Amino acid sequence: MLRILYAVLLGLGTLGMLCFDRPTPCLLTSQVLLPTKVLITTPGDRLVPSFGVPTAARSNPVAPSPSVLATQESDQRTDAVGLLDPNTRSAGQPGTVREDPLGILQGQIDNKKIYDAFVAAGQGIINEKRGLDVAAIQQSVRRPARSNLLCPASSVGDDSFGFENVAKSSLLFGTLYDCGKCEEMHGNIAGGVVVSDDGLCLTNHHVLERRDEDTRVIFAMDYTGRGYAIQEVLAANRMADVALVRLQGTGPFYPAPIATNSPLPNTPAFVLSHPSSEFFVLTQGVVSRHVTLTQRRGKSTWLEVTAPFGAGSSGSGVFDDRGRLIGLVSRISPIFRGAEQIAPPAEGEEPRLRSIPYAELILRRCVTTKAIRECFREEDLDSNKAEQ
């Protein structure tokens, strides 16, 4: 642990980043998803080989559930989805069935139920061999940063932050892996955001890349427990840590409107994410700044917010107070400092002073609005005008 801390201190100059192995608790870490190795990047070093705060397996992932449970959950999920009536898709309208089998829209979160639904959804995709496999996705993350699709129009009527809309557009986005030691698949879960009603979604580049051999599937699940394989990776920008993906299937999808302009400092910022398999955690803060970092590989620009997030929050949406998507969680960069403390003496030793590093401030870096919009075809000024 101390070795890791020391390395963090070394790495802090520009983008102090590290990723922990899955079972490692990540109290001090930097980025926000699924890494698989302890990986430290020092200033000026190659740019972050693996972004991401790992989903620390504090609760369920390390404790595989018995297969019986998984089956029950999967049945339950099927039942829940069975409630769906294609004519009542606009959940929330009077007289329609409100589709909320996992309790998420009411903010009644059962972590294990959601985790089990995720595993069941991924297992279904594996069984039916739907969508791109892991190797194909690894190829796809080398795609150009821009797709040739138009950015979905950001026509929002709402003038306030609607939790329900934000929750419906928010995805669990991650992998199932086979530990090789038991019969179960395990989830490694980050986030994503739906941005069009035909299944386009955004997540972090680092959520898609560098999967280990034990990774069996990369996919998304929505708030109802519906699983979606990845049909296509349309744009991938490693420096900005964003990827545009088309999900396979017909939805229904509930897109979040993408903000047209970059938010100014002090704009309210909400994050709805899944740190450490704690699902749908809503936090609030403000936009702190846009910061440009210079590294050997080039410059990168980030949207910093004060809304808390942590390991597993990667790829989740950052929203303004009208529910518009202004960014995606990407990483944290703790600023460390040493505190002198008396170390508990070992037997036969004298007490001595030692310096305990602690995170004095945590910078919370997100994919910028601009980088999100740059996943789409270059906009001409006329279409911009039409949106305003």
What distance lies between CA 34 and its chain's CA centroid? 9
Residue 105, Ramachandran bin (φ over 0: left; ψ between -120 and 50: alpha; else beta):
alpha
Residues near Zn ion (CB under 5 A), total: 4
Q: Give the number of other Cβ atoms within 10 Å of residue 197's Cβ.
A: 13
Q: Please say whether the beta carbons of 235 and 144 come within 8 A.
A: yes
Nearest approach, Cβ of 190 to Zn ion (angstroms)? 20
To Zn ion, the closest distance from the beta carbon of 186 in angstroms equals 6
- Minimum CB distance to Zn ion smaller for 216 or for 331: 216
Point out which span in 62-70, 120-128, 289-297, 354-362 binds Zn ion (CB under 5 A). Answer: 62-70
Q: Exposure pattern of 77-101 as b/e (b: 16+ CB <10 Å)? A: beebeeebeeeeeebeeeeeeebbb
Query: Which region among 39-47, 60-68, 224-232, 378-386 touches Zn ion (by CB under 5 A)?
Result: 60-68
Nearer Cβ to Zn ion, position 203 or 215?
A: 215
182 binds Zn ion (CB under 5 A): yes
Q: How far is the CB of 39 from Zn ion (least distance, A)?
A: 23
Written as six digits, the tokens of 241 are: 């840590």
Integer Rg of the chain from CA: 21
Report DSSP letters for 291-337, one per residue: EEEEETTEEEEEEEE-S---TT-TT-EEE-TTS-EEEEEEEEEEEEE
- Name the minimum Å distance from CB 64 to Zn ion: 5
Closest separation in Å from C-beta 47 to Zn ion: 32
Determine the 3-state secondary structure of 15 from DSSP. coil
Smallest distance, Å, CB 187 to Zn ion?
11
Residue 218 or residue 287: which is nearer to Zn ion going by CB? 218
In whole angstroms, the minimum distance from the beta carbon of 323 to Zn ion comes to: 38
Q: Cβ distance 131 to 248 under 8 Å?
A: yes
- Residue 207 has phi, psi (to 5 degrees) of -70, -30
Minimum Å distance from CB 342 to Zn ion? 42
Specify the residue, 11 or 61, whose C-beta has the smaller distance to Zn ion: 61
Map residues 124-153 to x or -, x wherever contact with Zn ion holds by CB under 5 A. Answer: ------------------------------
The residues with which 203 forms a beta bridge, in sequence order, are 243
Could you say which of 134, 179, 282, 286 contacts Zn ion (CB under 5 A)?
179
Give the end-to-end CA distance of the chain in Å, rounded to a whole number.
52
Q: What binding mask, one character per residue, do residues 64-103 give for Zn ion by CB under 5 A, x or -?
A: x---------------------------------------
Closest-approach residue to Zn ion (CB) = 179
Closer residue to Zn ion, CB minimum distance, 67 or 108: 67
22 vs 206, beta carbon nearer Zn ion: 22
Among the listed residues 310, 300, 280, the one whose alpha carbon sits nearest the alpha carbon of residue 367: 300
Which of 186, 373 has the CB closer to Zn ion?
186
Name the minimum Å distance from CB 29 to Zn ion: 23
Q: Which stretch binds Zn ion (CB under 5 A): 39-47, 162-170, 174-182, 362-370?
A: 174-182
Interface with Zn ion in residues 198-257 (CB under 5 A): none
- 103 conformational bin, left if phi > 0, alpha if psi -120 to 50, beta if neither: left
Residue 385: how many CA atoms within 13 Å on its side-chain side?
3
- CB-wise, 64 or 152, nearer to Zn ion? 64
The residue ranges that bind Zn ion (CB under 5 A) are: 64, 179, 182, 184
